[in-house]
């Protein structure tokens, strides 16, 4: 099978340009798995929607902690990622900040330790998912099963189911689904996380792109 080349994108700065997109890293990753590549291609693409909001329910399986998260993207304002009481801001100009929605304090840069207890990062919806898929492609015991799912937030998702063996030798299935029009994950089921989009809107609340007050 001919390897499929995909460009991996990083959220090291923000959504920039005329459309919401991610700055590319000069790294080509060869993935010889059509189902995995289909999901990765979506996550690495430019959204067709220029302004949208996706709400997620996330369960950290180790401890059963439930977290609500909201990702908002706008071609002019940038990207806002709110995870529980932490708001990450990526402006279109390239600046970043980490804010608390309870104390209203903000600091420059992205402080991932604010949500590390939830096994999450500020890029859980894209770059972190890309890295997880790449890893599972390497350790899967068989090619991923590709499928479509229209039950997630009433939108059509492209999914890949991986068969893996955990450290205790038990067989498990890991699932990743992506929303084609939005270039973000819609669902993710792994050993440590259960992520599911619960709502998708083709609009944004501009207040989400400001420090909380």
Q: Which two tokens mark 67? A: 């977290």
- Name the helix (H) or strand (E) containing 149: strand 145-152
95/166 Cα distance (integer angstroms): 39
Mean pLDDT across the chain, nearest whole number? 87
Which three-class secondary structure state does DSSP give residue 166? coil
- Please name the residues in contact with 178: beta carbons below 8 A apart, sequence gap of 6 or more: 39, 42, 43, 129, 157, 158, 159, 184, 185, 186
Residue 149 has pLDDT above 90, yes or no: yes
99 touches 106 (CB < 8 A): yes
The predicted-structure confidence for 170-188, as pLDDT tens digits, reads as follows: 788 999 999 999 999 999 9
Q: What one-character-per-residue DSSP string does 77-144 give? A: TEEEEEETTEEEEEETTS-EEEEETTT--EEES--GGGTGGGT--TTTTTHHHHHHHHHHHHH-SSPP
How confident is the model at residue 169, as a pLDDT?
Answer: 74
The predicted-structure confidence for 26-62, as pLDDT tens digits, reads as follows: 334 567 889 999 999 999 999 999 999 999 999 999 8
Q: Hey, what domains does the chain have and what are their CATH numbers? A: 4-209 (2.50.20)
| Residue 145 DSSP label | E
The predicted-structure confidence for 104-128, as pLDDT tens digits, reads as follows: 999 999 999 999 999 999 999 999 9
Q: Which two tokens mark 164? A: 């893996």
52 touches 200 (CB < 8 A): yes
Percent of the chain whose pLDDT exceeds 90:
76
């Amino acid at each position: 099978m001919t390897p499929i080349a995909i460009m991996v994108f990083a959220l090291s700065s923000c959504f920039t340009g005329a459309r919401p997109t991610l700055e590319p890293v000069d790294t080509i990753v060869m993935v010889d798995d059509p189902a995995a590549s289909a999901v990765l291609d979506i996550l690495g693409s430019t959204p067709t929607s220029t302004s949208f909001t996706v709400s997620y329910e996330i369960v950290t399986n180790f401890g059963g902690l439930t977290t609500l998260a909201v990702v908002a993207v706008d071609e002019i304002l940038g990207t806002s990622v709110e995870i529980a009481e932490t708001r990450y801001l990526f402006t279109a100009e390239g600046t970043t900040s980490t804010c608390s929605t309870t104390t209203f304090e903000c600091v420059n840069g992205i402080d991932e330790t604010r949500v590390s207890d939830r096994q999450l990062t500020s890029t859980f919806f894209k770059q972190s998912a890309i890295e997880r898929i790449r890893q599972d492609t390497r350790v899967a015991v068989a090619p991923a099963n590709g499928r479509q799912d229209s039950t997630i937030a009433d939108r059509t998702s492209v999914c890949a189911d991986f068969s893996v063996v955990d450290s205790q030798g038990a067989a498990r299935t890991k699932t990743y689904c992506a929303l084609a029009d939005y270039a973000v994950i819609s669902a993710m089921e792994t050993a440590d996380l259960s992520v599911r989009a619960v709502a998708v809107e083709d609009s944004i609340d501009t207040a989400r792109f400001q420090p909380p007050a």
